[in-house]
Structure 1
Amino acid sequence: MDIAEPLRQGTSLIDPFGRHVSYLRVSVTDRCDFRCVYCMAEDMTFLPKKDILTLEELDRLCTAFVSRGVRKLRITGGEPLVRRDIMQLFRRLSRHLASGALEELTLTTNGSQLARYAAELADCGVKRINVSVDTLDPVKFHAITRWGDLSKVLTGLDAAAKAGLEVKINAVALKGVNEDEIDHMLVWSHERGYDLTLIETMPLGDIDGDRTDQYLPLSRVRASLMDRFTLEDIPYKTGGPARYVRVKETGGRLGFITPLTHNFCESCNRVRVTCTGTLFMCLGQEDAADLRAPLRASEGDDLLHAAIDEAIGRKPKGHDFVIDRVRAAPAVGRHMSVTGG
């Protein structure tokens, strides 16, 4: 078989570079109750309801990918837990966990709604969640998120722990904003049994500000951490792009997601679908495929599978992220909240 031709319906999806697509990230909404400075403009225009996939369509789309060998499914947004009746989707997708077709159903959230939904998420088979927390300073937290309340997020984290959910804290490293408290966040996370993953800011969407003023290379952060901590490389993987170390002094895990200082594309097994049914084969490229049209054109899934096949055949080798003074415009025009965080 020509490696450039993806496998047919009912079999695994393989891209032109021989990588098996086994991880799907699905955005269920472009809306969010925060306005994080690196993710959104403060005055966002959101999509009309008719453009958004229904919960039934999202279930059908996810099920099609599971039938093609996707083993890990992550629900994202915007903030996924602000989507009306979102737990209906989790309950439907949990059948794939029960059947063994899906290994993991996970969630990325800002934590604002966790107090309300943590127990129900656990009942649906969700075992692990990612929670975005960029600072433990309430004033700074409000400044970064514009609308966020740190105390509400911390209450949500307590609810997640009570429900038995494993938590990974995601923190975007921001120059001059939170770089002086990464040590503290590491210790705080590990004391509570959370993993911590640090993320470089990515050039996605026009925001109110200059990303060159925000960008903090994680190579620099890691070097600084090594002045205080012993970082031991480990082979731990969650299916995403993070590279992990064990922090000897705390016993906890620390991850680094480095799209700029250390390109992670060679092992990419991921694709993303937006809340409108647009499939992006790469977070850092504009090429995309419309899955909403084939979803709505037929009650059967033949057209949908054909569209997925064609798209996976175009999955690129990697992204072209750059942040510098010469390239002031974002590498990709859409906001992270549109693609799915």
Structure 2
Amino acid sequence: MLQDPYGRRFHYLRLSVTDVCNFRCDYCLPDGYEGDGPSGFLSVPEIERLVRGFAAEGTRKLRITGGEPSLRKDLGAILSRCRAIDGIEKLAITTNGHRLARHLPMWRDAGVDQINISIDSLDARVFHRITGHDQLHQILQAIEQALAMGFKIKVNAVLMRGVTEQGMTDWLGWLKQTPVTLRLIELMETGDHGRFFNQYHTSGEPLLLDLLSRGWTRQDRTLDAGPAIELSHPEYAGQMGFILPYSKDFCTTCNRLRVSATGDLHLCLFAEQGLSLRDYLQQDDTTELRHALRRLLQDKGAKHWLDEGKTGATRHLAMIGG
């Protein structure tokens, strides 16, 4: 099992397969994808070797992210080959929902268990303004289809001052009937978006405390869970989750590592630099890769430094999938 100097053990890998995205979300790529990152994304064989190495070191949950992963034409091969790796027990994918209904059959056949979909508002006009796309109705329809097919669905919404609070009535009304988990994620500062952060950042703790006062209760955290505080209520089909990176001791339960689409290991979302693994992915034997992972993990810090305004090398979240 991969373990850092602070005793944290890592069961969960978030693997970006592209930094390309076709949405223009205000808090990430407001001007759209500009192709300013390095080219040469990991090939399918490189991805398979990478995941085999992680799985041999105890990784049990794999999340495929982007950018927008569905833009890779070989995504089906990536998913199916990763799902077939011994030790990978849960395969998830994060998507903006673009043409979601079209992708569902392939994702089911490839063995995807869970889909996370980014929806920052249930108001179609606000959704359009944030993303640059008028697709909310189609995405919501596709979520119903995905639920009927047996997928576990989580919806990610970035908390933004003056936006999320006004939409809480809509969210709660939707969760009354819809068995999904809505996760409200505090807006995080990135290198390109300091001004946007200062304008829209708001703490999620008041909303969390309000729900707790209204009969919502905390759920036990599973071994491979991400950092969310999850809540349930007996009168609601869906659940709520909160990801609060500015809260005290947020990093103490860290159990996930990130690899970029070009093969760089990021020990933290806001690390100063990625650590290239690509040379270790040129041979089927993963022994050297596994040794490198154990060694590199000893440099993982105790926490991020977002509270001091230090965003590391992360210019925008599309770089390594958030």
TM-score by length of 1: 0.87
CA distance in 1, matches of 2:246, 2:77: 37
2:198 is matched with which residue: 198, 212, 232?
Answer: 212
Mapped contact 1:39–1:205 kept (Cα < 8 A): no
Mapped contact 1:119–1:159 kept (Cα < 8 A): no
1:43 to 1:134, Cα distance in 2 relative to 1, 3 A: closer
1:55 to 1:48, Cα distance in 2 relative to 1, 3 A: farther
CA distance in 1, matches of 2:164, 2:11: 34
Name the structure 2 match of 1:275.
261
Aligned residues: 321
- The runs of 5 or more residues in structure 2 that have no matched partner are none
State which drifts further: 250-259 or 60-69: 250-259
Q: Counterpart of 1:38 in structure 2: which amino acid? A: Y
TM-score by length of 2: 0.92
Name the structure 2 match of 1:294.
280
Does the alignment pair 1:66 with 2:47? no
Root mean square deviation, CA, Å: 2.2
1:110 to 1:189, Cα distance in 2 relative to 1, 3 A: farther
2:76 is matched with which residue: 60, 79, 87?
Answer: 87
2:140 is matched with which residue: 130, 134, 154?
Answer: 154
CA distance in 2, matches of 1:330, 1:288: 13
CA distance in 2, matches of 1:154, 1:315: 39
Mapped contact 2:61–2:91 kept (Cα < 8 A): yes
Does the alignment pair 1:305 with 2:317? no
Name the structure 2 match of 1:315.
300
Name the structure 1 match of 2:245.
259
Does the alignment pair 1:14 with 2:3? yes
1:194 is displaced (CA, Å) by 0.9
State which drifts further: 150-159 or 269-278: 150-159
- 1:241-287 CA-partner distances (Å, limit 9, x unpaired): 00112224425321110001344211111100010101001112224
1:23 to 1:190, Cα distance in 2 relative to 1, 3 A: farther
Q: Percent identity?
A: 35
Name the structure 1 match of 2:189.
203
1:136 to 1:178, Cα distance in 2 relative to 1, 3 A: same
- The runs of 5 or more residues in structure 1 that have no matched partner are 1-11
Q: Counterpart of 1:206 in structure 2: which amino acid? A: D
1:16 to 1:135, Cα distance in 2 relative to 1, 3 A: same
Name the structure 1 match of 2:15.
26
CA distance in 2, matches of 1:163, 1:262: 39
CA distance in 1, matches of 2:311, 2:5: 27
Q: Counterpart of 1:161 in structure 2: which amino acid? A: L
1:245 is matched with which residue: 219, 231, 254?
Answer: 231
